[in-house]
Amino acid sequence: MTEIRAISLIKDFSTRRVINNISMDINQGNFILIKGPSGAGKTTLAMIISGLIKPDGGSVHINGRNYYNLSRFDRYKLRKSFSYIFQNNIFINNSSVIENILIPFINKKASKNDFKKALYYLDLFGLNNTANKKIYKLSGGEQAIIGIIRGIITEEYTDVIIADEPTSQLNEELEEKILKIFKYLNSKGKTILLISHSKKAELFAKEIYFMENGKITNYEKRIKE
């Protein structure tokens, strides 16, 4: 269980204020969508909340503990509750698709089931013949799918999935498939923090934050059945 509370976050990049006094609560099992134009600060906000970028002001409390005041050892421990899907596909280029997917198991004992799960997801997206290919040989869209699979394959061990524009390079059919997977994981109690421009994503989210110039300009709470 991972409860997150961000209080008055501020982040500057050189002279530009990228995040300007943002506060938000993320309860376990929520499905949050962050929308906004490019450069609004969505990625930076998600990275601060998930413990990857230190804010210049404000604080992030994870399960009641001020994350950025913790020791590095404790921060690493807490961060294991998060899984990431990055906007720009970040991979170990000289490794194969399957190795890149299984990276999150480097700190765990990957069982045969985990391996099967990776193959299942590859099959689901019609990429089962790419398992042993070098990752850089895949197209941008295929790499995006691999990034998504890597982000969700450890759902058993993580509480929060941070997805930064995961479907921006995919067609509508694949986008819907991925959103349905997020919805399924959310129904299992996982928290989803999704950054997306997509209209379709709005149908799946429980809360929507609109951002502009580093501020939250609008907030919508959706009532779900």
Partner 1 sequence: MNIKYILWFLLRGIVSYPIFYIGLTLINIFIMFFYDIKDNLGNYGLFSMIIIILIGIIYNFTFYTRDSKKIGIITIYGGDIISGFLIPFIEILTFMIIAIFIILITIGYISFTAIAIGFGFTLLTSIIIAIRFIFTDIYKIIKEN
Q: How far apart are CA 50 and CA 26, in angstroms?
A: 11
Q: Name the minimum Å distance from CB 116 to partner 1.
A: 17
Which candidate, 89, 191, 95, 101, places its Cα nearest to that of 154? 101
Q: What are phi and psi of 107, to 5 degrees?
A: -105, 5
Is the Cβ of residue 53 or residue 119 nearer to partner 1 in the bound state? 53
Q: What is the rounded CA–CA span in Å between residue 13 and residue 186? A: 33
Q: Are 190 and 29 in contact (CB under 8 A)?
A: yes
Residues 71-100 that bind partner 1 (CB under 8 A): 72-73, 76-77, 80, 83-84, 88, 90-92, 94-95, 99
Total residues at interface with partner 1 (CB under 8 A):
30
- C-beta closer to partner 1: residue 91 or 204: 91
What binding mask, one character per residue, do residues 36-75 give for partner 1 by CB under 8 A, x or -? Answer: -----------x----xxx-----------------xx--
Token readout for 187 is: 């129904």
Gap between the Cα atoms of 164 and 43, Å rounded:
7
CA distances from 162 to 31, 35, 135 (A): 10, 14, 22
Write down the least CB distance from residue 126 to partner 1, Å.
24
**157 touching partner 1, by CB under 8 A:** yes
Which one of the spans 10-18, 27-35, 101-109, 216-224 is the region binding partner 1 (CB under 8 A)? Answer: 101-109
Given the rule CB under 8 A, which of 7-15, 61-69, 108-116, 188-196 is the region that contacts partner 1? 108-116
Please report which residue ranges of 5-88 form alpha helices under DSSP H. Answer: 42-49, 72-79
Nearest residue (CB) to partner 1, 109 versus 221? 109
> Which of the stretches 10-18, 102-110, 164-172, 205-213 binds partner 1 when contact is defined by CB under 8 A?
102-110
